[in-house]
Amino acid sequence: MPTTPATATHSSSNGTAEAIMLELVDENGTTIGTAEKLAAHQAPGQLHRAFSVFLFDEQGRLLLQRRALGKYHSPGVWSNTCCGHPYPGEAPFAAAARRTYEELGIAPSLLAEAGTVRYNHPDPASGLVEQEFNHLFVGMAQEELKPDPEEVGETAFVTAAELAERHADAPFSAWFMTVLDAARPAIRELTGPSAGW
């Protein structure tokens, strides 16, 4: 795993689980404090920093992941390539690259910022709330995937048309369409008009 100053302070050397802390932010994305991960997601939710990654192959197909069944939040549903939360003090770009590696075993190439989006999405199944100031990233997946089964149940590369069909038939994360729509301008710039995004 890539180590940054922020991740080094969040690694436990004795194997015990440490509380995962998130950065709380105001409506402008300015850090105002921290909160434990689960507490930040309990209703009504606390606005916190997050990121979402969208990676594509050479044919302009989007890499989706189905979240592992053991995840406490939104298990078993499809979502974008990778999403998560920076540690307090960790740059969103570094966190996006770190988690993509941790979850999928690849280092994204041409990873670029694609703006931010703020949303409030309750998850009826769990009762948890996604109150997030989300940093968006787009890039390429050019290595063989090595998914961590604790994080990822399944992966698929899909065209825009295949995504529309899949979205109609399968459960997706509550935040998926919000982050996808917000990232579309950068996605079109990366994949070109013929990919149909």
Residues annotated as part of the active site: 83, 132
Q: Are strands 82-84 and 78-79 parallel, antiparallel or unpaired?
A: unpaired
DSSP states of 69-115 as a string?
TT-SSSTT-EE-SEEE-PPTT--HHHHHHHHHHHHHS---EEEEEEE
86 preceded by a cis bond (ω within 30 of 0): no
Nearest to 126 by CA among 79, 173, 169: 173
